[in-house]
């Protein structure tokens, strides 16, 4: 099977190897066509119609470009002990292609707001889409025999571990390091040795956040939203180099690229200010969250062992494959009385009958870091002036009142008068 070329509006022609094409041509990957990259922003920005599908292909393309650039730089250093193999490059590209397989409806809205409101944690920890990506990756291989066969022919078990580690981060369960060299005792990964640490910084950089995932979505989001982007990713790729820093091989950039990197973080700030945290986007996403949380007990998906409710699909990848942005249409088309409230909220969004924006306040840094005194501490401070004690007691009362009323009303409009009466 020959390489396949995808025509992308951001990066131009993208060429993918046969194994990558087989991954793209699975139901698990095609599902990403139906998940909006920017969640509820499409209800505000008409151009924000791009999906996780094209973003994932773009990240794969950039990951390949960066690996090849680093390989070229390393080859120019004859005394270098590092060698990037073709298998390393393929693994990095697979991780980049599959890094978002675990996203749910409206992308970050699902794992960032919907799931936390329905359940506090999963198996003692907060569930994130990265874990879903790893689970979906395993499910994809299980469900597509030809793909799994080719995958096992080209890559080893160690390579598979490496791919998953690049997506989700280091395994938390590694405790026994007796078989490792003394110098590698603190190395948390199993897929590749410490000498190849820089490979873990390409798709999802846990060290400084500079990675190809951001490079693609900055360019793609700015293009779709109509927001200017001064960051030049091509220069970053060209001026990247692997250098040993603090005993680890890291991806570094020329000093003259510092202003380009400033532009990268400034672009991120602009995107948050103008789009990701846009007040109307936040209102719509709040309403979508409310609608889907209310619908959780009344909408089901077919899993491996029968039907499961929406929030339980994160444990059943067969059911999760069916869960996309289309869930709101299932609610809107339903006549189930249990979905009446959810349906009403979604109809309000479509009619532009949105919740009101009450206001906002920017607090100085450290406002919420300072410790609030408890009752015992207040009582114990005998030397504290009466006014200060009153302030602390009032603050404690406001905090408790907010928590109690918020659980029942979930409405700022109803909560505000109650808090004002206490002031």
* Nearby residues of 124 by Cβ (< 8 Å), 6 or more positions away: none
Count CA within 13 A, CB hemisphere, residue 23.
28
Instruction: Kindly state the helix (H) or strand (E) to which residue 52 belongs, with its residue range.
Output: helix 52-75
CA angle 198, 201, 143 (to 5 degrees): 110
The C-alpha atoms of residue 222 and residue 268 are separated, in whole angstroms, by 10
* 329 tagged catalytic: no
The C-alpha atoms of residue 374 and residue 174 are separated, in whole angstroms, by 39
Instruction: Kindly state the helix (H) or strand (E) to which residue 395 belongs, with its residue range.
Output: helix 386-409
Q: Single out the residue of 79, 82, 14, 58 nearest to residue 251, CA to CA.
A: 82
Beta bridge partners of 125: 122
Q: Please check whether residue 401 is in contact with residue 407, taking contact to mean a CB–CB distance below 8 angstroms.
A: no
Beta carbons within 10 angstroms of residue 392's beta carbon: 18
Check 129, 272, 315, 329 and give the catalytic one. 129
What phi, psi does 202 have (nearest 5°)? -85, -50
The C-alpha atoms of residue 37 and residue 16 are separated, in whole angstroms, by 22
* Nearby residues of 67 by Cβ (< 8 Å), 6 or more positions away: 84, 88, 89, 92, 93, 199, 202
Beta bridge partners of 303: 306
CA 314, chain centre distance (Å): 15
Positions annotated as catalytic residues are 129
């Amino acid at each position: 099977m020959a390489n396949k070329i995808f025509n992308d509006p951001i990066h131009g022609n993208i060429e993918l190897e046969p194994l990558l094409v087989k991954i793209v041509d699975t139901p698990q990957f095609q599902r990403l066509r139906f998940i909006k990259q920017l969640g509820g922003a499409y209800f505000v920005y008409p151009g924000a119609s791009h999906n996780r599908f094209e973003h994932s292909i773009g990240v794969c393309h950039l990951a390949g470009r960066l690996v090849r650039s680093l390989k070229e730089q390393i080859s120019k250093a004859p005394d270098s002990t590092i060698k990037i193999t073709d298998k390393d490059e393929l693994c990095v590209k697979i991780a980049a292609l599959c890094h978002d397989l675990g996203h749910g409806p409206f992308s970050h809205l699902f794992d960032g707001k919907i799931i936390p409101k329905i359940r506090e944690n999963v198996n003692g920890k907060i569930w994130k889409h990265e874990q879903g990506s790893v689970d979906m990756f395993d499910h994809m291989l299980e469900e597509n025999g030809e793909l799994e066969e080719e995958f096992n022919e080209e890559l080893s078990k160690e390579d598979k571990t490496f791919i998953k580690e690049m997506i989700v981060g280091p395994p938390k369960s590694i405790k026994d390091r007796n078989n490792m060299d003394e110098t590698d005792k603190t190395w948390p990964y199993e897929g590749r040795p410490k000498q190849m640490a820089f490979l873990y910084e390409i798709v999802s950089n846990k060290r400084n956040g500079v990675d190809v995932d951001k490079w693609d979505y900055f360019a793609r989001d700015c293009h779709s939203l109509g927001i200017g982007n001064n960051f030049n990713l091509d220069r970053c790729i060209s001026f990247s180099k692997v250098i040993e820093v603090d005993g680890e091989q890291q991806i570094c950039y020329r000093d003259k690229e510092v202003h380009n990197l400033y532009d990268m973080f400034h672009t991120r700030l602009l995107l948050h200010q103008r789009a990701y945290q846009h007040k109307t986007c936040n209102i719509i996403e709040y309403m979508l969250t409310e609608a889907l949380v209310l619908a959780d007990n009344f909408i089901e998906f077919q899993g491996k062992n029968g039907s499961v409710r929406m929030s339980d699909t994160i444990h059943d990848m067969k059911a999760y494959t069916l869960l996309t942005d289309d869930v709101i249409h299932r609610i809107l088309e339903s006549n189930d009385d249990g979905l009446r409230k959810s349906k009403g909220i979604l109809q309000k969004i479509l009619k532009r009958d949105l919740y009101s924006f009450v206001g906002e306040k920017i607090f100085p840094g450290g406002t919420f870091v300072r410790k609030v005194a408890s009752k015992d501490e207040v009582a114990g401070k005998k030397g504290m002036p009466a006014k200060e004690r009153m302030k602390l007691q009032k603050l404690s009362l406001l905090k408790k009142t907010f928590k109690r009323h918020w659980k029942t009303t979930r409405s700022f409009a109803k909560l505000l008068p109650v808090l004002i009466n206490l002031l």
